[in-house]
Amino acid sequence: TSSKRGLIYIPNRKYTSDDSIWTKSNSDLTWYYNYGSSPTPSLSGSQLQFVPMLWGHPDETSGTTFYDTIKALKISGQNITHVFAFNEPDGDTKTGGSSIAPDKAASIWIRELEPLRKLGIQVGAPAVTGSQRGIDWLKDFFENCKGKCNADFMPIHWYGYSPSNNFEGLAGYVGQIMGTYPKLKIWVTEYALSRVALQESQAFYNQSAAWFDKMEYFDSNITHYSWFGSFRSDVSNVGPNAAMLTQNGKLTDIGSWYLGGSATGAVPQ
């Protein structure tokens, strides 16, 4: 069991009853995000704390729509303590990235995100892809900020694809980020071992979750993590064996473990 675990909410419009799986009172989940700035209605009133995200480049070039939205949520009584900024800005939109140049992201941050810190909200650095390209993008971003972008924590995305790029690859990448940004807390906000055998996926989950729960590193530590993903195995874009639900909406072993339960024996297809 762990208090660090969060939900990456992926809606299933065909099977809306799946939402109730994540809000059970005995679930380990404590927080969630949905890649948007507004809470998910079906998760409202649950134990899950919402973390808004400014996913990509706003439509306007000078407004403060995101800032205004989060401020309004705060005023309305929503417990907004953290926000995310930019989903894989170094990545292409065809693969889920928001594709934003570092200089543009810096100007948006200064206008929309930095003021949120005055409201007592902690702001996460841009969540780049788990690659050298992402690391280079972050470096360029902070250089363009010229000291005006003050991240409170560092979100990390990481996906492995083979036995040679599994837990050791994840741990090495997290260590590299920690070494580069030693003063920032770490949130691993997307991770999985993609398109591998079921036993390998389960072993990777168990090893990584145990490490996250115990991890401390000088002034930094992993305070939150969220497995990808909360969807049925037959629609998974990272392979069926990473999914927390079977094609029939039953919790897989990984899904049940993630919620603090025991193995179910339900095999994803």
Q: What is the pLDDT of residues 4-45, one digit of tens each?
A: 999 999 999 999 999 999 998 889 999 999 999 999 999 988
Per-residue confidence (pLDDT) for residue 1, from 0 to 100: 82
**195 neighbors 189 (Cβ within 8 angstroms):** no
The residue that leads in pLDDT, 93 or 164, is: 93
Per-residue confidence (pLDDT) for residue 164, from 0 to 100: 61
| The token pair that represents 204 in the structure block | 């990777």
End-to-end Cα distance, the chain: 26
How far, in Å, CA of 134 to CA of 29, rounded? 28
Q: With helix as H, strand as E and coil as C, how does 3-16 read? A: CCEEEECCCCCCCH
Structure confidence at residue 217 as a pLDDT band (50, 70, 90): low
0.85 cut: is pTM over it? yes
Nearest to 152 by CA among 114, 111, 110, 105: 114
Return the number of other C-beta atoms located less than 10 Å from residue 84's C-beta.
23
Average model confidence (pLDDT) across the chain:
94
Whole-number Cα distances in Å, 203 to 51, 150, 163, 166, 198: 29, 37, 11, 10, 9
Report the pLDDT averaged over residues 169-184: 94
**70 neighbors 102 (Cβ within 8 angstroms):** no
Per-residue confidence (pLDDT) for residue 218, from 0 to 100: 58
Locate tokens 């407004």: which residue?
Answer: 63
Taken as a whole, the chain contains a residue count of 269
The residue that leads in pLDDT, 15 or 162, is: 15
**234 neighbors 240 (Cβ within 8 angstroms):** yes
In this structure, which amino acid lies at residue 81?
Answer: T
Per DSSP bridges, beta strands 185-193 and 153-160 are: parallel
